[in-house]
């Protein structure tokens, strides 16, 4: 099933739109547009990140592709059998996701990696479409507090009932579970807030839920 993605010229968020235009002048060969979700719409696992990194997804056009967060995420996905092919940090590397899809709470790169509340809210309609379109979805993995809260908004769930914690695990309904993790950003791994072992534990837990 096709899931509606923001169009390439989306200008619903004026700040993000003008940031994209500025980047498009500076970095003419880069994607510099909303980044569509990647992977299997029939997948049982949906991974939700924050927003494209300037020199990562905003450059390559594929979520988590081309930056540190992606190096860790794709290596871990490979280890747990969610990929086929080799991750090569470009959208043309031929990598396929197996039983899994990756999206972001906000589809355009935000200045300083910080989307505003209004931008997160505006982009939430695309997250709702992802959830509606993934008919076999069983587990949602949120990377970081913003993704976690965006998913709860998209599902119309109370934030107080599903607190963001690392390795949180919640049942959302009969078919759907939510797992929360610290974001696999360079900042979090450099500061030791998230280690590779901690991240792998998240995927061990997801495997038992699928």
Residue 193 token pair: 């807030």
Contact 135, 163 (CB under 8 A): no
Parallel/antiparallel/unpaired status of strands 45-49 and 139-143: parallel
x/- site string to ligand URA, residues 67 to 96, per CB under 6 A? x-x---------------------------
Is residue 39 a contact point for ligand URA (CB under 6 A)?
A: no
Instruction: Provide the edge-to-edge strand list for the sheet that holds 139-143.
Output: 38-39, 100-104, 45-49, 139-143, 177-181, 168-171
Burial readout 146-177 (b: 16 or more C-beta within 10 A, e: otherwise): bbbbbbbbbbebeeeebebebeeebebeeebb
Among 23, 104, 180, 181, binds ligand URA (CB under 6 A): 104
Q: CB nearer to ligand URA: give 10 or 51.
A: 51
Residue of minimal Cβ distance to ligand URA: 49
**Minimum gap (Å) between residue 177 Cβ and ligand URA:** 21
Stretch that binds ligand URA, among 60-68, 118-126, 171-179, 186-194 (CB under 6 A): 60-68
Binding site for ligand URA (CB under 6 A): 49-53, 56-57, 63-64, 67, 69, 104
């Amino acid at each position: 099933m096709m899931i509606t993605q923001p169009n390439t010229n989306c200008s619903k968020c004026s700040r993000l739109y003008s940031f994209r235009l500025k980047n498009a002048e500076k970095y003419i060969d880069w994607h510099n547009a909303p980044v569509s979700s990647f992977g299997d719409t029939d997948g049982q696992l949906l991974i939700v990140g924050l927003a494209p990194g300037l020199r990562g997804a905003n450059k390559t056009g594929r979520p988590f592709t081309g930056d540190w967060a992606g190096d860790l995420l794709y290596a871990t996905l490979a280890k747990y059998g969610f990929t086929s092919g080799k991750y090569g940090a470009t959208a043309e590397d031929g990598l396929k996701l197996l039983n899994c899809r990756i999206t972001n709470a906000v589809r355009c790169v935000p200045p300083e990696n910080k989307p505003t509340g209004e931008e997160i809210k505006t982009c939430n309609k695309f997250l709702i479409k992802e959830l509606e379109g993934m008919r076999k979805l069983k587990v949602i993995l949120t990377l970081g507090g913003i993704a976690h809260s965006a998913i709860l908004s998209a599902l119309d769930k109370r934030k107080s009932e599903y607190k963001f914690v690392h390795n949180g695990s919640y049942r959302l309904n009969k078919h759907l579970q939510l797992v929360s993790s610290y974001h696999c950003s360079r900042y979090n791994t450099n500061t030791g807030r998230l280690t590779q072992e901690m991240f792998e534990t998240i995927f061990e837990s997801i495997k038992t839920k699928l």
